[in-house]
Structure 1
Amino acid sequence: MRTACRLLAASLLLAAPCAAQEARFFTLDNDSWFDTDRYYTNGVQLAWRDAADTRGELARRWTGSACRWLGCGDARYLFGQHSVGQLMYTPGDITVAAPQPLDRPYAGLLYLERNWLFLDADGQVLTTLGAQVGLTGRLSLAEPAQKLIHRIVDRPQPQGWDDQVGTTLAVMLSAERRMAWPALSGPIAGNVRLHTAAYWRAALGNTMTYAAGGLTLTVGKNLPPVSPAPPGIANRLTGGATGDTSCLWEWLQCTLVLGAEGRGMAYNLFLQGRPWREDPGVRPRRWVGDLMAGLRLDFPGTRGREHGPWFVQFRTTRRTAEFRAPTFVPRHTVGSLTLGIDF
């Protein structure tokens, strides 16, 4: 574990941004908005994006090789993103101190992530490559974080963290290709448009290994061809807001997003535990689906000389059961709130 800690610390130093932070945002995931406290129960992430290409030699070689294979070799480098975050998973009843072998195990992840975004010359395809490294188990700090939050908001204290997925260095590489679908896109009324996009995503690592595909419908004004735009880059993809972008008032812009995703799961550390170790775990479902709905609000009047406009985004995800058990395993709903400044 000393070696793992040193590797994570070195990664944190190497990933520190070298360019000015041009877009910053904070995301909070939680299921308490839907009156539950189970499964994927909490996630926090602080992220910042910069337009300067600060890739080192290793990152350039990896992203270049990946893009040649994925078809984005001629794409324009768009942005780099640095993220630091924590994920938290619990069983359905956190007041039970004894092991619960038929329910989802306690698990946490404290991670650092780096993403690189590339846009094809025609603006119709957005490619995202990612690398994530983190620590699970007690070093994820999920147990003290949840206990502190529950103490502050006066909720029941979790009792079963002694039986959590153990500590390991968790690594994952990922790639996503999001493609505009012009045939199913066009004006709805006035300047309001519908943009449809299809995407696929794949991840490989001892954190998760899976393949996913999905479809999104975005409704709004002055939308980029590939919508919805990831947080923090919408203004750059549209070349800056022009014309009528208002929603209800001149000082407000709004965008509605609906989506569906299916995933084939080959491995999930947070469900199955570490291989060949005596970790708690359950039998995962190999096919999982999500339905998503989100609303983004932009406030163009908040743009400053040194930063872009503020935005807030809320997304709801309804997920099918992720594991099998003799008892009923319900679907789960998580809310995601993002607050930040755009470019």
Structure 2
Amino acid sequence: MSLFSFHPRWCAGLALLACGAAHAQAPVPQQETVHFGTYENDSFFDSDRFYTNGVQLSIKRSRDRRGEFAKALTRRACAWLGCEDSVFLTSQTNYGQLMYTPRDITIAQPQPEDRPWAGLLYVEHAYALLSPDQRTLTTLSAQVGVTGPASLSEDAQKLFHKIMDRPEPRGWHNQIGGSLALMASAERRTALDSLSLALPGDVQLNTAGYWRLAAGNTMTYAAAGLAVVVGKDLPAVSPPPPGIGNKLVQDAIGTTTCMLKWLQCTAFAVVETRLMGRNIFLDGRMWRDDPSVQRRKVVTDLMVGTRIDFPDTRSASHGPWFLQFKVTRRSREFRSSIPVPRHRIAAITVGTEF
């Protein structure tokens, strides 16, 4: 079986990544805010298990609206991370819900050898800071949320399954209990010249290496990864998801087209390995008798995707609409006496600028 097995209609979308002749777009006014929503689900691969669903609404801004307290916190963090000379690039607020289930959601009894039922409802805020040479991007984020019944994951899944006429989830009374979930993280992403090159047709292939540290009662881990982005008019280091940062710069200029005059495209591939110290969705709450499984200490994600912009959809009230599609293949996250397969998730992101 191939690394990623997905429907043929998705392949047609990925085929747009073969960029053709350049057609320069006219300069466009600066956009200060981007709104986008992301829907992740494993049902794209005909499964309903493990990390089974995620939804997130995001608002990204280019204007620096930090108060004195937030500026002091970022200065202190940068003194430790080595980004004191970096300048504000964007801020981003995320509102989302995550949902985790065992493989068979129709079993009402506890399933101690399978992944626990769990949910998270959260809000997250992040600041992106760019170095003076525009080759290193530092992202600082903080997340606060709730687990257990207050996450509304049970209500959301049951409603969705009822509407879509799918099997009723019957084991949510076994979920990891309610708690205040906190997590802070820092990431450094640096352009790698030795792995970047110019391709025919004014196409760029940019490679960046990154590391991330996260700590909290939600998750604690250390991660390292390599990200490759292919497209036109790319910055040296692209913030994830690739392309959105391009729209939030002073004197913004529209990127060149892909194969068609009314289409712009960017492709990306990422490999990331995490050394896990804690995961509330596998370990349960600290000092509580929650369902849990034996967490694997090393987890690897392999991601590929494409972002497509539609420049002709720009109007006087908003910027162009865009669509991003991403596929993730995740290694086994826990050990059990029953077989634990690798997991695949697809994510669709849709948004526009205001």
Compare 229-238 and 41-50 and name the one that shifted more.
229-238
**1:303 offset after TM fit, Å?**
2.0
Work out whether residues 264 and 308 of structure 2, in 8 Å CA contact, stay in contact via their aligned partners in 1.
Answer: yes
Aligned in 2, Cα 1:341/1:72: closer, same or farther, shift over 3 Å?
same
1:47 corresponds in structure 2 to 58
SS at match of 1:233: helix
Work out whether residues 62 and 248 of structure 2, in 8 Å CA contact, stay in contact via their aligned partners in 1.
Answer: no
**1:266 offset after TM fit, Å?**
0.1
Q: Does 1:240 align with 2:240?
A: no
Following the alignment from structure 1 to structure 2, what is the Cα–Cα distance between the partners of residues 116 and 275? 29
1:300 corresponds in structure 2 to 311
- State the Cα deviation string for residues 76-96 of structure 1 (Å, max 9, x = none): 101111111100000011010
Q: Does 1:152 align with 2:152?
A: no
Give the percent of matched residue pairs that are identical in Structure 1 and Structure 2.
54
Following the alignment from structure 2 to structure 1, what is the Cα–Cα distance between the partners of residues 203 and 89? 26
SS at match of 1:65: helix
Following the alignment from structure 1 to structure 2, what is the Cα–Cα distance between the partners of residues 326 and 21? 52
Work out whether residues 32 and 248 of structure 2, in 8 Å CA contact, stay in contact via their aligned partners in 1.
Answer: no
1:111 corresponds in structure 2 to 122
Aligned AA (1:127): T
Match of 2:301 among 278, 283, 290: 290
**1:305 offset after TM fit, Å?**
2.8
Following the alignment from structure 2 to structure 1, what is the Cα–Cα distance between the partners of residues 32 and 260? 30
TM-score between both structures, scaled by the size of structure 2: 0.88
Structure 1: gaps of 5 or more residues = 1-19
**1:267 offset after TM fit, Å?**
0.2
- State the Cα deviation string for residues 257-296 of structure 1 (Å, max 9, x = none): 1110100000000001001111101010000001110010
1:249 corresponds in structure 2 to 260
Work out whether residues 140 and 186 of structure 2, in 8 Å CA contact, stay in contact via their aligned partners in 1.
Answer: yes
- State the Cα deviation string for residues 206-247 of structure 1 (Å, max 9, x = none): 00000000001111111111035536322235953357x111
TM-score between both structures, scaled by the size of structure 1: 0.91
Following the alignment from structure 1 to structure 2, what is the Cα–Cα distance between the partners of residues 238 and 315? 28
1:199 corresponds in structure 2 to 210
1:1-343 alignment to 2 at 5 Å? 22-227=33-238, 229-230=240-241, 232-236=244-248, 240-241=252-253, 245-342=256-353
Work out whether residues 126 and 139 of structure 2, in 8 Å CA contact, stay in contact via their aligned partners in 1.
Answer: yes
Compare 54-63 and 124-133 and name the one that shifted more.
54-63
Following the alignment from structure 2 to structure 1, what is the Cα–Cα distance between the partners of residues 63 and 317? 16
Structure 2: gaps of 5 or more residues = 1-30
Aligned AA (2:120): L
Work out whether residues 222 and 238 of structure 1, in 8 Å CA contact, stay in contact via their aligned partners in 2.
Answer: no
Following the alignment from structure 2 to structure 1, what is the Cα–Cα distance between the partners of residues 318 and 190? 29
Compare 233-242 and 219-228 and name the one that shifted more.
233-242
SS at match of 1:139: helix
**1:22 offset after TM fit, Å?**
1.2
Following the alignment from structure 2 to structure 1, what is the Cα–Cα distance between the partners of residues 82 and 52? 36
Aligned in 2, Cα 1:197/1:66: closer, same or farther, shift over 3 Å?
same
Q: How many pairs are equivalent?
A: 323
Work out whether residues 224 and 237 of structure 1, in 8 Å CA contact, stay in contact via their aligned partners in 2.
Answer: no
Following the alignment from structure 1 to structure 2, what is the Cα–Cα distance between the partners of residues 155 and 102? 24
Following the alignment from structure 2 to structure 1, what is the Cα–Cα distance between the partners of residues 77 and 187? 11
Work out whether residues 218 and 228 of structure 1, in 8 Å CA contact, stay in contact via their aligned partners in 2.
Answer: no
Work out whether residues 41 and 89 of structure 1, in 8 Å CA contact, stay in contact via their aligned partners in 2.
Answer: yes
SS at match of 2:248: helix
Aligned AA (2:164): V
Work out whether residues 33 and 248 of structure 2, in 8 Å CA contact, stay in contact via their aligned partners in 1.
Answer: no
Aligned in 2, Cα 1:263/1:237: closer, same or farther, shift over 3 Å?
farther
Following the alignment from structure 2 to structure 1, what is the Cα–Cα distance between the partners of residues 171 and 344? 22
Aligned AA (2:194): A
Compare 100-109 and 302-311 and name the one that shifted more.
302-311
Measured on the aligned residues, the alpha-carbon RMSD in Å equals 1.6
SS at match of 1:143: helix
**1:327 offset after TM fit, Å?**
1.5
Following the alignment from structure 1 to structure 2, what is the Cα–Cα distance between the partners of residues 36 and 229? 26
- State the Cα deviation string for residues 147-173 of structure 1 (Å, max 9, x = none): 000111111011100000000000000
SS at match of 1:148: helix
SS at match of 2:212: strand
**1:56 offset after TM fit, Å?**
2.7
Following the alignment from structure 2 to structure 1, what is the Cα–Cα distance between the partners of residues 35 and 350? 9
Aligned AA (2:253): A
